[in-house]
Amino acid sequence: MSLTLYELGGRDGFRYCPFCWRTLMAMKHKGLDEFERVPVYYRDKSPIAFSNQGLTPVLVDGDRWVNDSWAIADYLEEVFPDRPSLFGGDMGRAQASFVSAWILQLHRPGLTEILLWDAFEHLDPQDRDWWRKDRQLHFGRLEDYREGREERVREWCAKLEPLRVTLSGQPFVSGEAPAYADYIVFGDFQRARCISRIKLIEADDPIYAWRERMLDLFGGFARTAPHEAA
């Protein structure tokens, strides 16, 4: 078995693509420890040209490849049926799909704007000109996102209420143990943790304790990734 994960690369080893983090956690969940991680940069998507598209993650398994984090989760579930399940069956998969749709609603407006400046600062330096030009078309001047994020954080945090209520009654989004729905949500928190010192969640919030549990999984795999948060 030879597995390679192509993921978005940042400067100095920072890896902060939320969709790649979903896949990384899913691979660990399946007990996969031996795989190569290859960074792909905004300016040059040639390493994943074989997938006929330009987004990460892309998983290569021998002579097969899969792009898109959701398709990769399906692939892992199909190819490693005897290992811990990511979905726990069709019903769990359908519910994880709802979680995915919900969390996407919180990206824009939301976490994307909150982290825009941090994301810029963590790009590989050679990606910066391209990224600035591209993002400013959608968001206006990047510098305008540098300060005054508290209000945005407050609004975003309030929208997390369904997550908060769920996690005050059970340790994981998926119930007693983590599964793919948890990795979907965690991808965003891990992205923030990797590139930003901004405080998103208070320590007495049930979401905080959940995130700590997520960071502890797989021998602290996500916790030890390069990060800015304290």
* Nearer CB in complex with ligand GSH: 18/88: 18
The answer to whether residue 119 forms part of the interface with ligand GSH (CB under 6 A) is no
Spatial separation of the C-alpha atoms in residues 88 and 73, rounded to whole Å? 12
Task: Provide, rounded to whole angstroms, the least separation between the CB of residue 206 and ligand GSH.
Answer: 26
SS3 151: helix
16-24, 77-85, 161-169, 174-182 -> range binding ligand GSH (CB under 6 A): 16-24
55-63, 75-83, 160-168, 210-218 -> range binding ligand GSH (CB under 6 A): 55-63
The answer to whether residue 38 forms part of the interface with ligand GSH (CB under 6 A) is no
**Site size for ligand GSH, by CB under 6 A?**
12
* Nearer CB in complex with ligand GSH: 5/214: 5
Spatial separation of the C-alpha atoms in residues 186 and 111, rounded to whole Å? 13
Cβ neighbours for 19, distance < 8 A, ≥ 6 positions apart: 55, 56, 57, 68, 69, 187
Angle between helices 206-220 and 18-29 (to 10 degrees): 60
Query: Which pair of tokens denotes residue 152?
Result: 């945005």
The answer to whether residue 68 forms part of the interface with ligand GSH (CB under 6 A) is yes
Choose which of 4, 37, 38, 70 interacts with ligand GSH (CB under 6 A): 70
Choose which of 5, 24, 29, 57 interacts with ligand GSH (CB under 6 A): 57
Note whether 18 and 191 are within 8 A (CB): yes
The answer to whether residue 8 forms part of the interface with ligand GSH (CB under 6 A) is yes
The answer to whether residue 190 forms part of the interface with ligand GSH (CB under 6 A) is no
**Rounded to an integer, what is the distance from CA 31 to the centroid of its chain?**
19
* Nearer CB in complex with ligand GSH: 61/68: 68
Task: Provide, rounded to whole angstroms, the least separation between the CB of residue 43 and ligand GSH.
Answer: 9
* Nearer CB in complex with ligand GSH: 194/200: 194
Note whether 44 and 126 are within 8 A (CB): no
Tell me how far CA of residue 188 lies from CA of 103, 115, 130, 154, 171, in angstroms. Answer: 8, 11, 23, 16, 18
14-22, 81-89, 149-157, 205-213 -> range binding ligand GSH (CB under 6 A): 14-22
For the four alpha carbons of 173, 174, 180 and 181, in that order, the dihedral sign comes to negative
Choose which of 6, 14, 19, 189 interacts with ligand GSH (CB under 6 A): 19
**Rounded to an integer, what is the distance from CA 47 to the centroid of its chain?**
21
Q: What does the binding site for ligand GSH look like in residue numbers (CB under 6 A)?
A: 8, 17-19, 42, 54-57, 68-70
